[in-house]
Structure 1
Amino acid sequence: MTRIKIQIPKRCRKEPVISRLTSEHGLTVNITGAMLGAHSYEEGWFDLELHGLPLQVQSALAYLQDLNVKIWGKPNPDGDGW
């Protein structure tokens, strides 16, 4: 399990970012906290627990980076980098 906090950019607000972590990267995702602005121009953040194989987590983190999602937390449970 890996815990991260992400901030989704405004331009991705209507994208199914978290859903894709499950459907395209094979992770089980538990949302432990979230804050979304009342207006569509505000960014939102999520506290997530990612459950899956290290390769699946790495693939999901690379996907988030490609979207320019801000990520806080330990990105790799093995400590090898992303």
Structure 2
Amino acid sequence: MASDNDTLTNQRIRVRIPKDYHQEPVISRLVSDYGLTVNITAAILGANAVGDGWFDLDIQGTNKQIHNGLTYLHDLELEVWDNTKIADW
């Protein structure tokens, strides 16, 4: 029987990736380092990657994986909005 820690859940977030991070594999690390499944549902990128990028992500994983992935984004000091703030997109 799976515990609550093993139950998969989904969370929608929006992440702003500053131009300084365009060469960093931020989204890839959510998958490889934190075991999350990431679906990019929308993205806005500046022409020639000059400006900041915005990504709407549907992330799936255990509560712990999602928490750790969001902590990683927070540690990078990226702006992150969760589904409670983006319901009206």
| TM-score bracket for the superposition, by shorter chain length | 0.7 to 0.9
**TM-score, scaled to structure 2:** 0.79
2:28 to 14, 19, 34: 19
List aligned pairs for 1:1-80, cutoff 5 A.
Answer: 1-74=10-83
Query: Over aligned residue pairs, what C-alpha RMSD do you find?
Result: 1.3
Give how far 1:68 is off: 1.1
CA–CA separation in structure 2 for the residues paired with 1:74 and 1:54:
15
Once the two structures are TM-superposed, the CA of residue 39 in structure 1 deviates from its matched residue by 3.5
Partner Cα distance (1:46, 1:62) in 2: 17
Tell me which structure has the larger Cα radius of gyration: 2
Percent pairwise identity: 49
- 1-structure distance, mates of 2:20, 2:29: 16
Q: Partners of 1:4 and 1:69 in 2: how far apart? A: 12
Q: Which has the higher helix share?
A: 2
- Find the aligned partners of 1:27 and 1:57 in 2 and give their Cα distance: 7
The Cα of 1:13 is off from its aligned counterpart by: 1.0
Matched letter for residue 63 of structure 2:
P
State whether residues 21 and 27 of structure 1, in contact with CA within 8 Å, keep that contact through their aligned partners in structure 2. yes
Give me the whole-angstrom Cα distance separating, in 1, the residues matched to 2:49 and 2:43: 15
Distance in 1 between residues matched to 2:55 and 2:38, nearest whole Å: 11
Instruction: Between 38-47 and 28-37, report the one with greater CA deviation.
Output: 38-47
Q: Matched residue of 1:72: which SS?
A: strand
